[in-house]
Each structure stands twice: as C-alpha cells, then as structure tokens.
Structure 1
C-alpha cells in the first residue's frame, strides 16, 4: 500500500515521512492552514528522493499559475481539488490527480470522463477543499465504477481506521494530513504509526 503525507510545510517532517516509508509528499498551494509558498516547497522538494511523488494541491487555479508553480517547485504531480472539468485536467502538462468530494450515495460513473490516471476520494468539503479531518461511509463507494483508475483514499484517515478503509476500498494509495498531526503540526510518531498500519502485514494480507 502506498502512502501520501499531505500538507507538509517543513523539511524535517518531509524527510521523516520519507524515511518512514511515505511514497508521496503533498504541498498545498490553495487557501488552507497548511498553505506553503513556492520557495519553501522548492527547498523541500529538492531534498526528496526522485522516487517520491511531489504533489502540488490546487483549487480552481489557472493553468498558467499551476504550471508556473510546478516548474519552479519541481512537482511531479498536480492534484486538482476544485471544480475543474475533464477538459481542464487534460490541458495540464503534468500527471493529474483529480480529487472528488464524496457524498452519501455518490454517483462515480461520470469520473470515467476524466483523463486522470488517479482519482482521489475525499469527504464532502468543509471550510477548506480537503484536509478537514472527516471521513465518509467507505462501504457505500462502488469502486467498480472507477475501473481502470488508481484510487487514492483520503478524508479523516488515521492509524486507527486506515486498515478498515483499505479493506473496504482496496485503494492504490491512502492520503493523510490532519490524521498525523498534533495541535495542527505534523507529528512524526503519528506518521510512523500510520505508515506502519497502512503498509503492515495485515494490509498485505488484505490486498493479496
């Protein structure tokens, strides 16, 4: 199971997450309490292994601005967390992760219209588009409607519920932000515990 640690704002947390086994690091460039500026993100991204996905999170941003930030920072993937259309996703010159806010009895069949290889399932929007620390009813998601897509599961995940979520959805990757924080800051011990649960022996058995 792959793991993305999102909302990274400092080098120490990023390096610790990667050392503990994180496969992707997320930088939020949209309005958020975890928003990071280009220079800080670049300084962190430059020190991460090439194999680690460097994901920039944007909400209803212009194509020009997205690609400007991506080029300067050294992003490998773009996460679109707003109301971006399939056509807009197709226009971006980077691999796109399209985030979808999930509701009860959510219909996912229209997501096949998106060219994105990755679809991120998150909780219905709160104050910010993502990173709100609330989950949704995973058992109601019909993953067969996302056949051919790599599912990234987000929304209220933490070390206590990630195994249940993986068992129900069997995603390509799990994405956590507030679930590995203490008092609004990334907590290395929580990151370690989350990654241990997400990548542990029980998880490998579930995914066989």
Structure 2
C-alpha cells in the first residue's frame, strides 16, 4: 500500500534509520508501511547507497523505501539513485521546493518541517504545495532522530484537518505516546526512529512491534463502532 495511501481508519507507519538485515526483517514482521534510510553521514544511523540497496532487496512489494537527505549534493544524489531503488524521498535540510523536485524527479517526496514556537504552517504548506507529504518533526539540534516530541497543540486544528491526507507525524514518538498523537491529529502516517531503539542508532525488534501494536490500538479506538 505504501506510506502515503491515506485511510482515516488506518494510520500508516514508517520506521526510520534502519541499518541491518535484522532491522529490516523485524520491521517487516511488525507490519510497517515504509522503512527509512538515512543518507546523511554525520548521523549515527547513516548508511551507504550500496548498503541501502542490499537492505531494500529484503523488502516485500508494497513497502516504501524512503531516502532521507539533508542538503545532499548532486554527486551524492546520483550515487544513491545509481544503487538504491528509493520509492519516496524525504528532505530534512534547507532544500527549496525547486531542489526537492529536481532530486525527486518523478518520484513522490515529502518535506520535513521542524516545528517550534510560531511556526508558519500556512506559509510552509503553500511554499511546498507540490510535496506529496509534510513531515512534522521537532525543532532540535541536528536533523531528526532526537527523540524529542514537540507540542502538538502548536499545530492549528484547521491546518491539520485540511492537510491530514498529507501529514506524517514524527518527533519523539514511541509506543506510549503515539496513541495520543493519533487521537489528537489523525495524521496519514507516523514516523519513528529513536522511539524504537535500545540505544542510539540501535533498533530493537520488540520496541518496533510494540509501536506498531500501539498504532493499531489507537486506530481501533478512533474507528466508529
């Protein structure tokens, strides 16, 4: 189905920062809709294009392989495209809409927004109106994976209602708080990284399963009986 197939009764799930075959197998077994590969060398979760290609080969059809970029150069993008069959691009840096389109070519893409006080939601969604999704993340040092949630009340209810089919919620999610996030915002998808790790950059299969189960419980509560 893929990450951005919107259904009000089923929140899609992405686990980001996978680096090993065991990570991939555990995520697939848990029932995710997408896995993310970090192509940003300063990150402890970074992988090379060749490693990503090997990991993507383990994915069954229908699960998106998401490439996370942070201000990537043309050479870096070319190396990724040559090796790894990415199906969805995620831009976490200062990429302009034009740069996002240039890199993604005809593939779907989403732009990360780092939510702080007074974030201009309407300006952001207008500027990146061609994006297939808006990924809402916490404003932390670095680019994602900080394990810090932002105040969901900062998101205007009218904005999230209008954009729900394109909202991917990230930033400090885990099995304990994702249900509240879904109940409040009803996003298209949720994205987790540090919330399913036993230590920084090290994924935990049990935590992945617990996260997916928590999402499904939240979906069941939100569905009309």
Partner of 2:18: 8
SS in 2 for 1:65: helix
SS in 1 for 2:168: strand
Deviations 1:147-170 (A, max 9, x none): 345110000000000011111211
Which sections of structure 1, spanning at least 5 residues, go unmatched? none
Which sections of structure 2, spanning at least 5 residues, go unmatched? 1-10
C-alpha change, 1:97 and 1:192, in structure 2 (3 Å) is same
RMSD: 1.6
Tell me the CA shift for residue 18 of structure 1: 1.0
Tell me the CA shift for residue 187 of structure 1: 0.5
**TM-score w.r.t. length of structure 2:** 0.86
Tell me the CA shift for residue 188 of structure 1: 0.5
**Residues 120-199 of structure 1 aligned to structure 2 (within 5 Å):** 120-126=135-141, 128-145=142-159, 147-148=162-163, 150-184=166-200, 185-199=202-216
1:103 aligns with 2:138: no
C-alpha change, 1:28 and 1:143, in structure 2 (3 Å) is farther
Contact 1:2 1:199 in 2 (8 A): no
Structure 1 stretches of 4+ with a deviation exceeding 3 A read none
Contact 1:157 1:176 in 2 (8 A): yes
**TM-score w.r.t. length of structure 1:** 0.93
Deviations 1:42-92 (A, max 9, x none): 101011012001001000113453243034111101100001111112223
Query: Which shifted more, 145-154 or 43-52?
Result: 145-154
**Residues 6-85 of structure 1 aligned to structure 2 (within 5 Å):** 6-30=16-40, 31-85=42-96
How many residue pairs match? The answer is 206
